[in-house]
A and B are shown apart, each in its own frame.
Chain A
Amino acid sequence: MGTFDGLSVALSALQAQRRMLDVAGQNIANVNTEGYTRQRVNLQAVGATTVKGVWTGSSNSLGGVQAVGIERLRDAFLEVRGQAAHGAQGELTASQGVLSQIEQVFPEPSDSGFGEQLSALWSAFQDVANQPGDIGTRTALLQRASAVGDWLNAASQQLTTLSVGAAAEAQSGVDEVNSLAQQVADLNLAIGDAQHSGLSFNDLADKRDVLTMRLADLVGGQAGIGPDGAARVMIGGTPLVAGTTVRQMQLTGGGATLQLSWAQDGTPVQLTGGQIKGLVSSVATAIPSWSAKLDSVASSLASQVNALHSAAYDLDGNVGGPLFTGTTAATISVAVTDPRKVAASSVAPGPGGPSLDSGAAQGMASLGASATGADVVYRAMVSDLGLAVEAVTRGASTQQTVTDSIDSARQSYAGVDIDEEMANVVQYQRSYEAAARVLTAVDATLDQLINRTGLVGRQ
């Protein structure tokens, strides 16, 4: 053992405690930083070498302590569960968002909803049945019919706008995914370099974890860290990022044919979750299906009214044509503009002129009570829509609870606890004081030896 070994042991202790204080300070500084993982200094006692020298003898060497590295405290298993939960969450939230917007097109029950508009139309037919010869009631009927047609046109237009909006949101999501994937690949490269040079890459890894979690939100990507330290992000069995290689995605088609595919070969991306999955399936499946239901309201209205109207006679005794043209919600409109041409009579004109019979108008007024009429189709649609929104909202809320609890567990493991850090700071401070005291003791010992020993005979 060397004479001054004590000094170097104390010095190594002072340095190690300072290092630990610094890391505790870093942890406290980042207590509110998103994605920050708490760090810990790994210490190792420096003792004798494990391989004994043959000719040299330093069996009782004490080298003090050294910091061998700074570790990120993160649970890889929790991260994978977090990514799965975020993927499911993203999909449900996006679907719920679009479906809620579809629901807003049908604000029922209300005094101004489509149900009331239909009732007003049947009522107008009833008025014509009561006063078949009155031009005023016929004009009112045509206005009611136009209002019903306009409402259907507007609702169809709103669904189209929703579809376009959701597709645009999906497109910006895809752009973000492509950019994020590139950033992950860049970080893989930087981390690899840092690893080779023996530098700390904890902060780069934190940044990469934030990006991969965002990828999970968007496309349900599952990230794993390979033995070389590079992250690999998989989507439905195909790598989005592998090492420094990135595969770009693209959206093709529109409306019911909207599809997410790999830019490289055009094969569809097998999505397992994520906001983009929710948006793409809303645009390609959900909106077209509600649109078709709205069309069936329009077509049942048009076909039932037209069947009666075409068989009836107008105020001048002529056979009435169809009252509505178009059989979809987007195209339905009122074909008759002249109130005299509303066909209310089911009796052909006799020798005395046209009949003021109102059987046909009465028949059309009674369509409101029909078991297969537009009212029933519309009611069933609104009820189905309500059930669908309720179900997806419940699903999203349940998934939110799951995601929150996993995020909480991740945060519990990787997050900074100020109490803990403060306790550590106190401990490190005391350890530093103790090491300083050791230094003083060694110094005093050496002082005794060097300055006060062997003074016999000195004057």
Chain B
Amino acid sequence: MTLRYSRTTIAAAAALAIGAGAAWAEPVDDTLIVNEEITIKTRAEAPAHLEGALPELYSGWHFREDDTRKMQMDDFDNPNFVFLEQGLDQWSVAEGTENKSCADCHGDIEESMKGVRAVMPKVNAAGALWSMEDYINDCRTNRMGAEAWKWNSQDMKNMTLAISLQSRGMPMNVAIDGPAAEFWERGKEMYYTRFGQLEMSCANCHEDNWGNFIRADHLSQGQINAFPLYRLKDAGVVSIHQRFVGCVRDTRAETFAAGSQEFRELELYVASRGQGLDIEGAGVRH
């Protein structure tokens, strides 16, 4: 990587600068236990393929305020659930020329969709890299004879939430070798590309500066184990690609589209940076 402050330098500089305001802040030392029964692994050992880029993995949950973290600890307080339940209902609604529902082919969502979020995105039988949204739309158009949902439509988010919940508490475990390797390499290259008039890469914020503050924002490692998640600032559910669009746009760049091949590849690479963190099922962020 390019010249930058090492974490220890930042810590030392911050210690000297105390009194001036913000300082490097540790991720909050807290444990995510949902509904008083499901313990979610929100920190994990960094996987070998990161080659030391991060000393340890932290979910973005550790970088948010107390109130925000708490909202995720009880499904009744978690604003995702209104939408997630609509997704669960939709699971058994028959649609399209075939008049079939998801349940007609897949049965009980709790069984058939268990672990699915943890391995997405993945290479399909035809050799293409697909995100969960692609698999959903493939079923809708080819098996149900129904219309595809738009990537960031509420219907799509409701369904990805419902499916992601079935992997809650299971570790992220995407395949990055074999047929996935070329996609992963391209995603990695993108992660380190400095986009836009501000010339910033994902790594500039989420690898070099996690723990630091950009104005009021406490920078996390930009992990995607909690997606789709509810963002209080947007008062709505945010998809993985939607977040990527926002982060690229904020570098004063021409962004890529949600559902683009570039973002599928980036999604695979970013997912692999979180390997070992548990799927949160339905995260809450500010």
Bound pair: A and B? no
